[in-house]
Amino acid sequence: MLTAEVKQALTPTTDGTTLIITVGNLLRSDDGVGPYIASRLMELKAGLVLLDAGDKPENIIDEAVKQSPKKAVIIDAAVFGGQIGEARLIDQEHIPQTTLSTHTFPLPVIAKLLAEDTKASVLFLGIQPAKVELGEQMNEKVKATADEIIKMISEGK
Please report the pLDDT score of residue 100 as a whole number.
41
Q: What is the pTM of this model?
A: 0.90
The boundaries of the domain holding residue 118 are 4-155
Please write the tens of the pLDDT for every residue from 4-59.
999 999 998 888 899 999 999 999 899 999 999 999 997 787 789 999 999 888 88
Range with lowest mean pLDDT among 46-55, 65-74, 96-105, 137-146: 96-105
**CATH code, domain with 20:** 3.40.50.1450
State the distance between the two ends of the chain, measured CA to CA, in whole angstroms.
Answer: 12
The tally of domains found in the chain comes to 1
